[in-house]
Structure 1
Amino acid sequence: MIGEVPGGYGLTESRVAAYGYPEFFTRPPVLYQPTYPPLAPTKMIRRGLSELAPPWLDEERVSLLSRETMSKKQTLKNKEVYVKLIKDLYPTDGVKFDDDDGHYIVIPNSDLTPRYRIIKVLGQGTFGKVIQCYDRLKKDYCAIKVIRSIQKYRDASMIELRVLRTISENDPENLRKCIHMRDCFDYRNHICIVMGLLGMSVFDFLKNNSFIPFPLSHIQHFAYQLFTSVAFLHDLNLIHTDLKPENILLVHAGFRTVPYTKKLGVKVKRLLNNTEIRLIDFGSATFENEYHSSVVSTRHYRAPEIILGMGWSYPCDIWSIGCILIEFFTGEALFQTHDNLEHLSMMEIICGKLEPKFIRQSSKSAQKYFRHSGKLDYPNKDTSPSSRKFVKTMRSLKEIVPSTSPLKTHFLDLLTKIFIYDPNKRITAKEALSHPYFFTPVREDDI
């Protein structure tokens, strides 16, 4: 709602059409009491795993502990966000601010309201553009998501604003590693969402590093932070639905280089100096008790219950985290496919055969992926030779993550609990935070 009170990335058109902006924002608020991921007891660290926990763990646990005494009063799930309207100080008749697609025309060193000076475009998507700006009031840099001036995108941005406000109000100190909204406003018919300026995405770092896998110590810390963020979201009855490396930003992208000989043509690899991250892009986030579109998640990170049309909930985020962690470990996306049947066949090789009981729960339209015997209809007469060849290169989870050290053994065990087809049996984010994997130190030969 546009008003005089100020207050991620990515939008889904299906959600806009399904909600209908005016009706959606008149729904009554839901009262809830957020809870927080449990802190693992110290004795877990001593249970034959190690005398020393990972170096970052104490800091993360103390940080979370400081929030256990936070206010006990019930919190309103945000029903709407008021966006202040900012008008131009001088007449702008005849001035063109948008291109033909409704994107804001960015001119470096021009003003985006008197408060913000435009530096450069950081990225562009269906929703609009993300611009780096200088905040004259705070005297620092920020990132501003400028939504396209087309009404359906403006309406969709109100959904994202509602999610962002819910997140920030329930984690004012930003200990749960989710991006925070600083401000929002409506300027020249563009909804603008102001956020802190962070480093590059984890995916971009991986790409710039020749897709060399991350060190095991980095993966471990990334995983702990991801589960912390997702446990927090799930406590707020929120499902992110689009977890992927592109939506995980580094707080600091500084690195050092060391010699590397394991990849042809690559002589050095980059090692991050700081592994702190922030989760972004809440444009597709969904409250559990509200409308669920039939298909969510980027293909490579999509859970089997979504592909099979069974409906989805919190566990789909956990599956996505598993895919992300394997990508960090190997340097490559786990499920590189764009076809449902091929995707399911890859899952069977990596995670084991689909269970008959699980298959019977699939939607009517998804039954076409199975033969009368209940087995997956792959390969079939329409399967291309390239698909057959590619699927044959897949390895099982145990082959991808060999148990050659205590850390890898626990990592494999965690992944095994993630890649369970039945979402009701899949490990939760809270449960994952207490897994022995996070209390096992990295040996020098694990780096």
Structure 2
Amino acid sequence: MAGISATEGTEEETKKQGKQRKKVGGKGLRESTVVVQIASDEHCSGAACSVQRKAGQDAARSRAAIYGYPAFLMGPPAHYQPTYPPAAGKYGGEGVYRERFQGIQRIQGIQQEEWRRRQVGKGEEEQKEAERRGKEVYVRVIKDPYPTEGIKFDDEDGHYIAEPNTDLTSRYKIVRVLGQGTFGKVVRCYDRLKKEYCAIKVIRAVQKYREASMIELRVLQTLSERDPENRNKCIHMKDCFDYRNHICIVTGLLGMSVFDFLKGNGFVPFPGSHIQHFAYQLFTSVACNLVHTDLKPENILLVDAAFHTVPYTKRAGQRVKRLLNNTEIRLIDFGSATFEDEYHSSVVSTRHYRAPEIILGKYSLDCVLVSNAKGMGWSYPCDIWSIGCILIEFFTGEALFQTHDNLEHLYMMEIICGKLEPRLIRQSSKTAQKYFRHSGKLDYPNKDTSPSSRKFVKTMRPLAEIVPSTSALNIHFLDLLMKIFIYDPSKRITAREALSHPYFFSPITHIDTI
């Protein structure tokens, strides 16, 4: 499988995957440059940045704007003249201010202070925007060296028609299509310049998907800058370009996804030692201060999918099972990732791996997700919950929450993880509160609940029964999961805390390796 996901986690795709699980258990090219956004501080260096104070605060402010100093540090402009008395309603009644303040100097000081306070707010916003612009990616446009009028390169949905043995620019030669998803398709290519194979994600020639790809490009660039040695086990971008109206993202070529390996192995669970190594790498990946929002086995690729077989007697009709020779992984598909201080969509994550705070909606300010979450409905902890769901799937071979309905999903959570706290129910969105009765209990089952739903939910078991304490490794694994599956995201274990959990220092026995 390529180093970029070919599936995007839509509800329709998730349903198909759920059914599967249930069944088994440039040369000669002209180049120009498109600037996505330009960093604004490239020209500011050396003696040019020295500022000599001249008469008048307006001149100082002009220099501050040119050389990048925060304008509010220079004070209000010289032409800024406060009024006296202040207008009623802005600072209070006129009579109140006449009695409280003596003379125009005091009032001027108050107005200057308010002006500075407003400028501080503006300065912080401008600084954040400048930092955001500085992180954007330059995407070069590669044009064909010959006329292409009348030649069809896309299908009716905007997907690039990738034919084997054709060129994707003069540098890359298409070998075959590895997969296709909502955002585009992934192709295996040969890099003529570096003389190696690579994976290229070719984004659909649809404006909304082109714009969305810019987010992924920025995230991939940030990951490379923060972690050049790739200790966080995330996919790294090697190149990007715009060709025939398709944004193309080049990465290394990796093995198949963990889900595909699990599927090819008849959904036989992974050995305990493999799960332990997977878990450590996943927590390391999400500790890089980005919210992935779409963690699932399909978005975890094996570096090397080579395996050997061993006898297997726990399932009728299956005599052998596959064991990986190498459990190193890479986290991929950052098309839905977000930075902590940026826009948060109300619905994220593929259904099976969705955290309760996403279903329940926006929390009030007293339910702090992380120290700087500013009251948002979800943040880093939603990725931690997803990891918990993934680890259980590795342990049992089946998705933990096989559902497509919010009410049924919440009821499953209560069976596995215990009752929801009344405080969290009160703080949930109006949309989510319809799932609860006046007593605070979930409105499940009800008159609209299907017999198949009732039957399936009855098969759910508490977490302690899913992971029996049959070994020291399992005991620590269960304890880690109990710290993950906490409804209040502010109390959920963090990635860094998880990396220090005794589970990762528990001795491995022979039974944990098969």
TM-score computed with the length of structure 2 as normaliser: 0.72
Alpha-carbon distance between aligned partners in 2 of 1:350 and 1:100, rounded to the nearest angstrom:
45
- Please tell me whether residue 229 in structure 1 is matched to residue 285 in structure 2: yes
Q: Which residues of 2 match residues 395-406 of structure 1 at below 5 A?
A: 395-406=461-472
Tell me the residue number matched to 2:380. 314
- Please tell me whether residue 88 in structure 1 is matched to residue 154 in structure 2: no
Tell me the residue number matched to 1:58. none
Alpha-carbon distance between aligned partners in 2 of 1:297 and 1:26, rounded to the nearest angstrom:
31
Amino acid at match of 1:340: N
SS in 2 for 1:270: strand
Q: Which residues of 2 match residues 147-162 of structure 1 at below 5 A?
A: 147-162=203-218
**1:76: Cα distance to partner?**
5.6
Tell me the residue number matched to 1:286. 338
Amino acid at match of 1:365: T
Alpha-carbon distance between aligned partners in 2 of 1:262 and 1:315, rounded to the nearest angstrom:
36
Structure 2 unaligned residues grouped into runs of 5+ = 11-33, 42-129, 363-376
Amino acid at match of 1:288: E
Answer 1 or 2: higher relative contact order, Cα 8 Å, separation at least 6.
1
Alpha-carbon distance between aligned partners in 1 of 2:344 and 2:9, rounded to the nearest angstrom:
12
Runs of 4+ aligned residues of structure 1 deviating over 2 Å after TM superposition are 8-13, 24-29, 75-79
Amino acid at match of 2:442: L
Amino acid at match of 2:169: T
- Please tell me whether residue 136 in structure 1 is matched to residue 192 in structure 2: yes
- Give the direction of change, closer, same or farther, for the CA distance of 1:12–1:187 in structure 2 (3 Å limit): farther
**1:446: Cα distance to partner?**
2.8
SS in 2 for 1:341: helix
Tell me the residue number matched to 1:179. 235
- Please tell me whether residue 169 in structure 1 is matched to residue 212 in structure 2: no
Assess if the C-alpha contact under 8 Å between 2:416 and 2:460 holds in 1: yes
**1:189: Cα distance to partner?**
0.8
Alpha-carbon distance between aligned partners in 2 of 1:279 and 1:96, rounded to the nearest angstrom:
34
- Please tell me whether residue 270 in structure 1 is matched to residue 322 in structure 2: yes
Alpha-carbon distance between aligned partners in 1 of 2:505 and 2:436, rounded to the nearest angstrom:
42
Assess if the C-alpha contact under 8 Å between 1:218 and 1:275 holds in 2: yes
Amino acid at match of 2:139: V
Deviation by residue 1:367-400 (Cα, 9 ceiling, x = unmatched): 1100000011111111111111100100000000
Amino acid at match of 2:340: E
Alpha-carbon distance between aligned partners in 1 of 2:413 and 2:229, rounded to the nearest angstrom:
39
Alpha-carbon distance between aligned partners in 1 of 2:455 and 2:417, rounded to the nearest angstrom:
19
Assess if the C-alpha contact under 8 Å between 1:11 and 1:157 holds in 2: no
From 370, 383, 386, give the equivalent of 2:452: 386
From 311, 327, 335, give the equivalent of 2:401: 335
Deviation by residue 1:248-284 (Cα, 9 ceiling, x = unmatched): 0000000001111111211110000000000000000
Greater shift in the superposed pair: 356-365 or 315-324: 356-365
Tell me the residue number matched to 1:191. 247
Structure 1 unaligned residues grouped into runs of 5+ = 1-7, 14-21, 30-74
- Please tell me whether residue 371 in structure 1 is matched to residue 441 in structure 2: no
**1:445: Cα distance to partner?**
2.2
Assess if the C-alpha contact under 8 Å between 2:8 and 2:181 holds in 1: no
Alpha-carbon distance between aligned partners in 2 of 1:116 and 1:264, rounded to the nearest angstrom:
47
Paired residue total: 382
Alpha-carbon distance between aligned partners in 2 of 1:332 and 1:28, rounded to the nearest angstrom:
50
From 118, 121, 130, give the equivalent of 2:177: 121
Deviation by residue 1:59-113 (Cα, 9 ceiling, x = unmatched): xxxxxxxxxxxxxxxx966531110111112222211111111110011001101
- Give the direction of change, closer, same or farther, for the CA distance of 1:146–1:336 in structure 2 (3 Å limit): same
SS in 1 for 2:282: helix
- Give the direction of change, closer, same or farther, for the CA distance of 1:155–1:266 in structure 2 (3 Å limit): same
Alpha-carbon distance between aligned partners in 2 of 1:204 and 1:12, rounded to the nearest angstrom:
15
Alpha-carbon distance between aligned partners in 2 of 1:221 and 1:76, rounded to the nearest angstrom:
35
Assess if the C-alpha contact under 8 Å between 2:165 and 2:175 holds in 1: yes
Greater shift in the superposed pair: 144-153 or 417-426: 144-153
Amino acid at match of 1:315: P
Tell me the residue number matched to 2:491. 425
Amino acid at match of 2:207: Q
Amino acid at match of 2:195: K
Q: Which residues of 2 match residues 49-64 of structure 1 at below 5 A?
A: none
Alpha-carbon distance between aligned partners in 2 of 1:271 and 1:330, rounded to the nearest angstrom:
15
Tell me the residue number matched to 2:91. none
Q: Which residues of 2 match residues 11-26 of structure 1 at below 5 A?
A: none
Deviation by residue 1:284-326 (Cα, 9 ceiling, x = unmatched): 0011111101000000000000001121111000000000000
Tell me the residue number matched to 2:347. 295
Give the root-mean-square deviation of aligned CA atoms: 1.9
Tell me the residue number matched to 1:218. 274
**1:442: Cα distance to partner?**
1.5
**1:27: Cα distance to partner?**
10
Assess if the C-alpha contact under 8 Å between 2:179 and 2:185 holds in 1: yes
Assess if the C-alpha contact under 8 Å between 2:476 and 2:502 holds in 1: yes
SS in 1 for 2:413: helix
Alpha-carbon distance between aligned partners in 2 of 1:103 and 1:386, rounded to the nearest angstrom:
38
Alpha-carbon distance between aligned partners in 2 of 1:429 and 1:283, rounded to the nearest angstrom:
21
TM-score computed with the length of structure 1 as normaliser: 0.83
- Give the direction of change, closer, same or farther, for the CA distance of 1:355–1:158 in structure 2 (3 Å limit): same
SS in 2 for 1:342: helix
Alpha-carbon distance between aligned partners in 2 of 1:206 and 1:342, rounded to the nearest angstrom:
26
Alpha-carbon distance between aligned partners in 1 of 2:8 and 2:403, rounded to the nearest angstrom:
23
Assess if the C-alpha contact under 8 Å between 2:9 and 2:294 holds in 1: no
Which structure's CA Rg is the greater one? 2
Alpha-carbon distance between aligned partners in 2 of 1:246 and 1:140, rounded to the nearest angstrom:
25
Assess if the C-alpha contact under 8 Å between 1:11 and 1:156 holds in 2: no
Amino acid at match of 2:160: Y
Assess if the C-alpha contact under 8 Å between 1:354 and 1:421 holds in 2: yes
From 95, 102, 105, give the equivalent of 2:158: 102
Tell me the residue number matched to 1:413. 479
Alpha-carbon distance between aligned partners in 2 of 1:26 and 1:364, rounded to the nearest angstrom:
41
**1:366: Cα distance to partner?**
0.7
